[in-house]
A and B are shown apart, each in its own frame.
Chain A
Amino acid sequence: MRNVGIIGVGYTPVFVSKRKDVNIAELISEAVDAGFRETNLKPEDIDAFTFGNMQTFEGLNMPHLWASDHIRALDKPIIRISTGGTTGMSTLQAAYYYVASGMYDVVMAVTWEKHSEGDAQVGLSGIIIPEVIAMVQSGMDLAGGRGVGAMGGGSTGTAAYQAMSYLHHSGADPEHIDKMAAMERSNAAKNPYAHLRKETTVEDIQATPFIAWPLRYGHTCPTTDGATVCIVASEEKAAKLADQVAWITGLGACASDPCTGNLIEGQITDPAEQEPCCIASAKALEMAGIEDPKKEIDMCEMYDGFAHQSLMWLEKTGLCEVGEAHKLLDAGELEIEGRIPTNASGGVFSTNAIGTSAMNRPAECALQIMDRVEGGHKIPKKIKNALAHGWGGMFQYVTVMILSDTPRKLYPDGR
């Protein structure tokens, strides 16, 4: 196996609610062009492409094929990856596999979402339609008012159960969610590629209405239009093509039993249990040769569609003990100047073009390692190792990636 590093990141110029001035293919091409500008590469330098966005959110089939000219992928291998919320990191992991295997030397991973041209709620409904129909056939009240199966709808309705279970098991207070939300939104205010860019106080968050206790409107992510690309290269090629490289030194991915939407066969998993996160993180850290993540990881980017999640992921990835994350928050350790800066970018919580969301996590880590951060969210200390996290599926699929400033030491057997 070969070492692989990120040599460049390309973003669309802005991440906003509605990009009315471009269509989908044009939107993606903006990020692709930015990737070429950042690396001084030309389309002919790219050997292959990986491509990711959410299935069904825009109601599109095969966007990787009809947009192939706009991403400069004509006459090249291209594969579409779609793993729900984790799509972005899965797309980057696929690019990693291409290069690590020796098949290709330079690969571009392209991700995007244009929420304004679709309906995410319809896309999400498509996941559980068979379950819902079976339950309606067995007498469930579709309006959700009475009886077994009555539940809060949408992702906020289900995330509220996760948030409450997290609060119970960690000992954190609902006010910690407000505090985390305010911190991340204020980080986003410094990041030119964030969507909700406003210096935000705890009081601002607490002024927003509750959707489903304990989650407020101010605890939820936006829906965003935007695209991101990462260009990865083999160690040999990176030495020729790039001055700075963020090395991908560890990967992990894991699924468990669904924590939602499987009501017809008995749900065995608590949505705040998140065992896949523990497993994927342990795997990635081991691969990167990191023995004490609490000391050796210098920053992290967590996938937090909802503000309680960054705290939960800190505990599940092993960056702190269970029940410790909210104490780190209170001590200021999660801030940009803190010991373990968490979502210096503002996180998914502030910018959520879903296909890109799990890609922007490692991309932001890479930019911090390569010292190429635009804007005021640059972490002042030297970053040697960073942890990026992606989450999604039926609340049960997690990807983790470790990025480092030096290449990975391969195992004696060459892996």
Chain B
Amino acid sequence: MAFEMGEETRQVPGTWDISTYRYKIEGRGLNLLTEAMKEGKIRGVRCHECGTVYVPGPTFCRKCFIDIDEVVEVKDTGEVVSYAVEMSNMRGEPLDEKRITAMIKLDGSDTWIVGTITDIDWEDVEVGMKVKSVWVDEPAGKLNDIDHFEPL
């Protein structure tokens, strides 16, 4: 007997309320970071064994496998580790305004975070270029307090 598959995937309307997940990641490093961002600062955790500075900071060093809790402040300037330029939206349609997103290693940290870069033509972006954070007017302790990055 031949098996016949439907032509198209059926869509069922509904919502997915992610707030119903009961387990919250402790997120000590994430909380440390957002608390610092309220003051317009960036803080991470340094491993006292190998010196690696993580932002956001984990509770243990992933290189040394030891507990770490030495809080350090890092700068809000950094260097582009790599970048991509979004040229189409989720449906594959070309974007009118191309968006540059980058992996950025903040000065004083050994890890990278992701953010958007503006005020530069996408063709001029380079790996290794220096960028600075542009903060919102009234930081509220959210990851969005750094709105974007600009060339330094």
Contacts and interface: CB of A to CB of B under 8 A. Distances in A.
B115 A134 contact: no
Contacts of B40: none
Contacts of B27: 134, 137-138, 264
Contacts of B31: 138
A164 B127 contact: yes
Given A160-B84, A161-B83, A265-B58, A146 B148 contact: yes
Contact of B88 (A23, A135, A168, A210): A210
Q: Which of B5, B84, B94, B122 is packed against the most chain A CB atoms within 10 Å?
A: B84
B77 interface: no
Contacts of A157: 84, 86
Contacts of A160: 84-85
A149 B88 contact: no
A161 B85 contact: no
B55 A266 contact: yes
Nearest to B146: A148
Contacts of A145: 99, 116
Contacts, number: 164
Contact of B25 (A18, A152, A153, A264): A264
B113 A148 contact: yes
B148 A168 contact: no
B54 A266 contact: yes
B82 A164 contact: yes
Interface stretch (A75-83, A177-185, A267-275, A282-290): A267-275
A215 B58 CA distance: 32
B103 A212 contact: no
Contacts of A257: 62
B5 A265 contact: no
Contacts of B113: 148-149, 263, 267
A102 interface: no
Q: Which of B58, B87, B94 is packed against the most chain A CB atoms within 10 Å?
A: B87
B143 A151 contact: no
A266 B44 contact: yes
A415 B148 CA distance: 55
A138 B82 contact: no
Given A139-B144, A149-B114, A157-B86, A213 B122 contact: yes
Interface string B88-103: 1010101000110101
B127 A168 contact: yes
B84 A140 contact: no
A94 B25 CA distance: 34
Nearest to B21: A133
A20 interface: yes
A298 B143 CA distance: 50
Interface in B98-114: 98-99, 101, 103, 109-114
A173 interface: no
Contacts of B103: 161, 267, 270
A130 interface: yes
Q: Which of B18, B25, B109 is packed against the most chain A CB atoms within 10 Å?
A: B25
B82 A272 contact: yes
A133 B22 CA distance: 11
Interface of B: 2-5, 9, 18, 21, 24-25, 27, 29-31, 33-34, 44, 52, 54-58, 62-63, 81-88, 90, 92, 94, 98-99, 101, 103, 109-116, 122, 127-128, 140-148
13 contacts: A26-B3, A117-B5, A133-B18, A147-B145, A148-B113, A150-B101, A161-B82, A209-B87, A209-B88, A210-B85, A211-B88, A213-B122, A266-B29
Interface of A: 18, 20-23, 26, 116-117, 119, 129-131, 133-141, 145-153, 157, 160-162, 164-165, 168, 209-215, 217, 257, 263-268, 270-272
Return the 5 tightest CB-CB contacts between A and B, nearest first: A139-B142, A266-B54, A160-B84, A147-B144, A266-B111
